[in-house]
Structure 1
């Protein structure tokens, strides 16, 4: 620590020897800086404040129905990406700055200056933004800021509209794609069901239900067939064991029955009864019906006479036992029913055999059906979700168009500056004064390093490596002391005068700006 302190003192002593050189440079640098600061052109700053209101009454009311993006984040991104080359070129046209350029080089310089000078600053967390620009012409600065405000509002609205349109186009394209996929899945599922209708069943019945139903129907048909066969066998036994009972050989003609004629006579008599309920005996239809009945009875008498002449055996067949005739009729019906039931049993047996033969394909068919249903359900769910999102997007567009979810409000219009905002000559003059002092000190340090001296014998011995036998001290002299004090006063006066000069120039610059 002692060595460092000794080296520092030695360094200061060496710089003190060239203090007048440093003071002279300080005055020169300070004066030059004052002239430069005075000649710097004034720059006027125009500012405007814009508030973006993202709070709307409709937002909580339409929650869940409309798409509600993060407007705060979008506005923050817009404020950071507003200063782009396309926007700056548009701003040049809007502010009529293109009238001042005559070649591409000047235009590129103007674009670079605007890109560097335009500022969009967030003034807090409440979507309040300050737009500012500095220029040598106050009116031009105001025009630039006014154009920037219009561009900021327009970019926000166009950005929202473009995002919404792009989202709607994307959703529409996805809906068309999924609609094609859904139609294809429906067709595949329909064709699969048509190919495997026998195994898949209809009306919600599966393979097991169909097989159980066919087995039940087959058992029922077999039971009915056995019952019909037993009934037929019973009738046959009764017919073979019963002899016909014949009526006497001289029967009463009124008791003889001829089924064909008797049936017609019965029908005509029923018709006559119906006519008598509506008409009298003298009605032509009644008279005609009675005449037909009489003709039929006469025809019956003739037929009976003919059969009587043919032999008594004919009356035996005519007068056969009615129970016998009913049994033969029942036997014929039973035979027909047996044939029908046999066909039914054969059909159900064939169905059962087909279902059992297809049992091996059932797992594969069920797996394929499950996959088809799964694909169909996925496409249908995605399709319905996209349609719902499209409707939400449409509602959002209508809501934005009618109510304005994000409203841009100009709180402070672009100002026309009356006082220059830059440069701050007072601050620059103070900084230049300090910098000039630093330049003077640097000069003294540089000269002291170029022309070094030794402050004591110890430093001489350490640097040269030679032994120092002794040193000669300076004898105090009153005249030398007076000259030394005079030199100190002169140097201090020079520094004080420099400080006063810097302060005076700063005050003058302040008064000039005010």
Structure 2
């Protein structure tokens, strides 16, 4: 600790030895710094505050029908990209700043200076922006802020309309392309249908389904034809029996029924068909099988129905014979002949139907070989057409949405720009702060003086005691010769010290007067 104190005292003694050189340097630096401080031009600050209202009653009402852009993001991006070279060049023309700047170099310097000095600040609240610019001339600063406010508003509207127009142009181009693709797909589909018009079903069923339906229809028609033929054969046999009975004149009950025209050919044909069906079932199943039981019950019911109808027909025939006995035999034959003719007509109709279904089945079988290829080609064409149609309809809907969005922006505006604080300039300069600058200049001057004195002490050192001399040289010290000052030397030394203190105090006092003067001028200007 003592060593550090001794070294510090040695340094201070060295600085004291070069105090006058340091004082001169302090005065020079102080005067130059004071002149520089007072030569710095005043800076006037112009500012304006803008509130961007992005809320509109039309936007929630049109939600889902129009494209709702992120207005807050657009405004935030605009505030960050507003200070660009094209906007600065436009600002220079609007504020008439290019009148005083002639050469290209000066113009470039002006652009660089404005880009650096113009500030756009977000005040921390929702969509509230502050535009700030400083300049030596208050009117010029105000013109710059006014022009910047206009550019801020115009840029947002122009950018939004440009985006809408670009979207419309892109959608129109895409719609034209998809119209052409849709027309080509429709032409290919039409050509395919015309080329395969015979293979195209009206109901849209596959070839396999059509083949199954044709086969089922043919089987049903063949079954009906067999039933009709059996009924015709039964009528034909009954008619022949009636004719034999009429000729033989037998007295049996069957002959009497035939003579009276009593017969049930339809029920007989149905009973015969069921009996044949029963024989077939009994060959396959036992008597306890459900189908065998049902068939037997059906035969019993048909026989009972036949008995009832025969009884009624006998009563009717007997009544008719009592009235006209001579016409009994002719009525039975005539009725059976009529029924036979009807059965023949029905058989012919069913044969025609069977032939038609056979032709359809053959056609379906021949088309079944080409059906997979045709169906695959049709599916591909329909899939391409459906994709193009869907994309086309979506693009048309989006274009209409873009048109409505543009009209909505024209009607309500992207955002409402409200000028909260119009462009204004503070009557007093906001910079420089000469009080702080003078204090700083005084500190720089004193530091310069100390630095010069310290540098002199290091360049031309003087040893003030024997210990320092012995330490620095490393030589043995034999003795020390002290200098005895006379009274005249002490008075002269005291005068020099007072002069030094006076000169140092003068520098500080001069700066103090300057600071007081600046403060008074600022107070007077504020009061005015």
Q: TM-score, normalised by structure 2?
A: 0.69
Q: Does structure 2 conserve the Cα–Cα contact (< 8 Å) formed by 1:123 and 1:130?
A: yes
Are 1:497 and 2:491 counterparts? Answer: no
Partner of 1:139: 139
Partner of 2:352: 340
| CA deviation profile, 1:412-454 (whole Å, cap 9, x unmatched) | 2222553333333223222222222222233233333322345
How has the CA–CA distance of structure 1 residues 176 and 449 changed in structure 2, closer, same or farther, with 3 Å as cutoff?
A: farther
How has the CA–CA distance of structure 1 residues 5 and 177 changed in structure 2, closer, same or farther, with 3 Å as cutoff?
A: farther
| Alpha-carbon distance in 2 for matches of 1:374, 1:461 | 107
- Deviation of 1:50 (Å): 2.0
Q: Does structure 1 conserve the Cα–Cα contact (< 8 Å) formed by 2:119 and 2:131?
A: yes
Name structure 2 gaps, 5 residues minimum.
248-332
| Alpha-carbon distance in 2 for matches of 1:211, 1:68 | 56
| Alpha-carbon distance in 1 for matches of 2:238, 2:65 | 85
Q: Does structure 2 conserve the Cα–Cα contact (< 8 Å) formed by 1:225 and 1:341?
A: no
Q: Does structure 2 conserve the Cα–Cα contact (< 8 Å) formed by 1:239 and 1:324?
A: yes
Q: Counterparts of 1:201-212 in structure 2 under 5 Å? A: 201-212=201-212
Q: Does structure 2 conserve the Cα–Cα contact (< 8 Å) formed by 1:88 and 1:111?
A: yes
Which residue, out of 386, 408, 411, partners 2:417? 408
Partner of 2:35: 35
Q: Does structure 1 conserve the Cα–Cα contact (< 8 Å) formed by 2:438 and 2:515?
A: yes
| CA deviation profile, 1:216-249 (whole Å, cap 9, x unmatched) | 21212322343455566667778999989999xx
- Greater alpha carbon shift after TM alignment, 235-244 vs 189-198: 235-244
Which residue, out of 436, 440, 452, partners 2:445? 436
Partner of 1:23: 23
| Alpha-carbon distance in 2 for matches of 1:463, 1:170 | 87
| Alpha-carbon distance in 1 for matches of 2:83, 2:156 | 13
- Greater alpha carbon shift after TM alignment, 432-441 vs 10-19: 10-19
How has the CA–CA distance of structure 1 residues 151 and 135 changed in structure 2, closer, same or farther, with 3 Å as cutoff?
A: same
Name structure 1 gaps, 5 residues minimum.
248-320
Q: Does structure 2 conserve the Cα–Cα contact (< 8 Å) formed by 1:46 and 1:133?
A: yes
The SS at the match of 2:49 is: strand
The SS at the match of 2:423 is: coil
| Alpha-carbon distance in 2 for matches of 1:95, 1:51 | 23
Partner of 2:51: 51
Q: Counterparts of 1:25-104 in structure 2 under 5 Å? A: 25-104=25-104
| Alpha-carbon distance in 2 for matches of 1:370, 1:4 | 101
Root-mean-square deviation (CA, aligned residues, Å) is 4.1
Q: Does structure 1 conserve the Cα–Cα contact (< 8 Å) formed by 2:26 and 2:446?
A: yes
- Greater alpha carbon shift after TM alignment, 223-232 vs 235-244: 235-244
Q: Counterparts of 1:213-362 in structure 2 under 5 Å? A: 213-227=213-227, 229-230=229-230, 333=345, 336-337=348-349, 340-354=352-366, 356-358=368-370, 361=372
- Greater alpha carbon shift after TM alignment, 374-383 vs 61-70: 374-383
| CA deviation profile, 1:152-206 (whole Å, cap 9, x unmatched) | 2222221222122222222333333344444445555565666677777443434
| Alpha-carbon distance in 1 for matches of 2:434, 2:200 | 94
Q: Does structure 2 conserve the Cα–Cα contact (< 8 Å) formed by 1:229 and 1:338?
A: no
Which residue, out of 462, 466, 480, partners 1:472? 480
| CA deviation profile, 1:259-315 (whole Å, cap 9, x unmatched) | xxxxxxxxxxxxxxxxxxxxxxxxxxxxxxxxxxxxxxxxxxxxxxxxxxxxxxxxx
Q: Does structure 1 conserve the Cα–Cα contact (< 8 Å) formed by 2:30 and 2:441?
A: yes
Partner of 1:299: none
Q: Counterparts of 1:419-430 in structure 2 under 5 Å? A: 419-430=428-439
The SS at the match of 1:353 is: helix
Q: Does structure 1 conserve the Cα–Cα contact (< 8 Å) formed by 2:123 and 2:130?
A: yes
Which residue, out of 399, 406, 415, partners 2:408? 399
- Deviation of 1:347 (Å): 0.9
| CA deviation profile, 1:54-77 (whole Å, cap 9, x unmatched) | 222333333333322222222222
Partner of 2:263: none
| Alpha-carbon distance in 1 for matches of 2:98, 2:407 | 38
How has the CA–CA distance of structure 1 residues 500 and 384 changed in structure 2, closer, same or farther, with 3 Å as cutoff?
A: farther
How has the CA–CA distance of structure 1 residues 17 and 222 changed in structure 2, closer, same or farther, with 3 Å as cutoff?
A: farther
- Deviation of 1:372 (Å): 5.3
| Alpha-carbon distance in 1 for matches of 2:344, 2:59 | 86
| Alpha-carbon distance in 1 for matches of 2:397, 2:450 | 77
| Alpha-carbon distance in 1 for matches of 2:11, 2:381 | 94
Q: Does structure 2 conserve the Cα–Cα contact (< 8 Å) formed by 1:44 and 1:135?
A: yes
| Alpha-carbon distance in 1 for matches of 2:177, 2:3 | 85
Partner of 2:165: 165
Partner of 1:390: 399
How has the CA–CA distance of structure 1 residues 341 and 66 changed in structure 2, closer, same or farther, with 3 Å as cutoff?
A: closer
How has the CA–CA distance of structure 1 residues 327 and 117 changed in structure 2, closer, same or farther, with 3 Å as cutoff?
A: closer
- Deviation of 1:130 (Å): 2.3
| Alpha-carbon distance in 1 for matches of 2:181, 2:4 | 86
The SS at the match of 1:357 is: coil
How has the CA–CA distance of structure 1 residues 342 and 121 changed in structure 2, closer, same or farther, with 3 Å as cutoff?
A: closer
Q: Does structure 2 conserve the Cα–Cα contact (< 8 Å) formed by 1:200 and 1:206?
A: no
| Alpha-carbon distance in 1 for matches of 2:498, 2:75 | 65
| Alpha-carbon distance in 2 for matches of 1:49, 1:334 | 101
The SS at the match of 1:395 is: helix
Partner of 2:267: none
